Structure formats: C-alpha cells, structure tokens
A = this chain, B = another copy of it.
C-alpha cells in the first residue's frame, strides 16, 4: 500500500486541527515557513496542502498577513415554495425568491445597485420567455444583502414589448417599484402571475461573482432560473439569481402550508460530516 502523498498528510493534519476546534475560526494558521519546519517539508509542499484546504473552504489566505481559518457564515435559508397559500406566486420585490421567515425575522435584507438595461435576449432567456431571435428584453439587476453580508445577485428579464406595447413604462426606470413588479404588471397590463418554475443548478463563479462575494475561483454558486407564468400559461418574466453556496441553502415544501420546524437551523456545522 502506497502511503498518501505528503501534502495530503499535512492537509489532513491541519484539517483535523480545524475540525476539532483546536484551531478556531478566524485564527491564524502557522506561517508557511513554520509549517515547513514542523512538518519537515519544503515550502511548496506546504503550499500544496494549503491549496487543498482552500478548495475545501476551510481556510483563506491574505497576502502579507497569513492564512486564517474561515469564519463560517450562519447560512441564509430561502424557501422556494410559497409560505402563504393565499398568494399565488407571490408578492413583493423583484418577483423574487423569498427569505425564510423562520428565525430570520431579525435579519434585514437590503437591496442596492439597481441597474436597468435593454438588451437583445440571450438564448437562455429568450427560450424561457418564448421570444424569437433578436427580440429585446428589459433587464433589472440588483445586488442583495442580508445584515450587510453579500447575499445574492439577481437579474430579472421582461419582454421589451411590455414597455413598448403594454405601457409598463416603469419597468425601464432605475427606480424601485414599491408595490412590486408582480402587482405593477397586474395593475397596468392585467397580467396575473399564477405559477412559476425554478430551475436549480450549481457552477463555478465568474470573475464578477468571485469579487462581489469574496469567494475563491474554485468555489461554488447556485444559479436559479425562476420563470413566472400568467393565468394563460404565458411566461412573463425570468429571474436569474446567483447565490454563493457557502452561505445559502434552500427549502422546498410540498403538501402542506409548511410551518413545520426547521431543525438545526442554528447549528453552524450542519452537514459537515455527512457521509
């Protein structure tokens, strides 16, 4: 039996120390030069070990300062199914995706950096909205925070015809639509949002996402496409939301109004050692 390579052994050793709490979150690891001596390895080998810990999300490095054990963020839990059966696909925001009420009521979501553009619809959006090649869309982009933490990036796409033919002119103004776009579209165009479909994927972040969320290039983000339909089954909006996987989880409730408890919501290490 070949023994595991040295850099893996060093990584394992450090991982054990971190997960046992010996090295608590926020604390600095020994420097590369120190680890070089304590483990009797070259600096490059030590660095290989640290790279593994980075890709596991256990540590982060800061040039000129050191390597630190990652502080875990108490995860945001988003319920993808409506919490209130009264609202059919529901209310506010950018037609969006809602923060769990459970134990989140003390948290304060904020939105900033609203940007509005008009573009030729990219294929993914065009197909979901049932448009033709070359058709244009109105695009409303937001940065979303919770308690000051960067939570998600959201972009909603509407057919440009809503503005040109449907008189929903406020869609293209870079102002928040206070009553919510769902309500607004119903008021001015008679479009009722009666259903939606969420499409959930995961991938690596692009450069912009990497910077905005301060995550590693080999981290993970959820990408959720929400397509909303009116009473006739016509798609009226596509909302694409990016959530970094290190601080976001999702819940889907089926078969009940869903005020069921959410076990372990407090526990920071949920899912750590699941096998």
Known: A55-B55, A55-B204, A218-B218. A253 touches B197 (CB 8 A): yes
Task: Give Cα distance in the complex from A201 to B248, angstroms.
Answer: 7
Q: How far, in Å, is A2 (CB) from chain B's closest CB?
A: 13
Chain B residue nearest to A198 in the complex (CB)? B252
Known: A252-B200, A255-B194. A208 touches B275 (CB 8 A): yes
Q: How far, in Å, is A115 (CB) from chain B's closest CB?
A: 12
Q: So how many copies of this chain end up in the complex?
A: 2
Cβ of A73 within 8 Å of any chain B Cβ, yes or no, is no
* Residues in B whose Cβ lies below 8 Å from that of A229: 255-256, 260
Chain B residue nearest to A275 in the complex (CB)? B206
Chain B residue nearest to A199 in the complex (CB)? B251
On A, residues with C-beta under 8 Å from B are: 52, 55-57, 75, 80-82, 88-89, 122-124, 127-128, 194-204, 206, 208, 217-218, 220, 222-223, 229, 233, 240, 245, 249-256, 258, 260, 263-264, 267, 270-271, 273-275
Sample 9 A-B pairs with CB under 8 A, ordered by A number: A55-B204, A82-B255, A124-B274, A127-B263, A127-B264, A195-B253, A198-B251, A223-B271, A229-B256
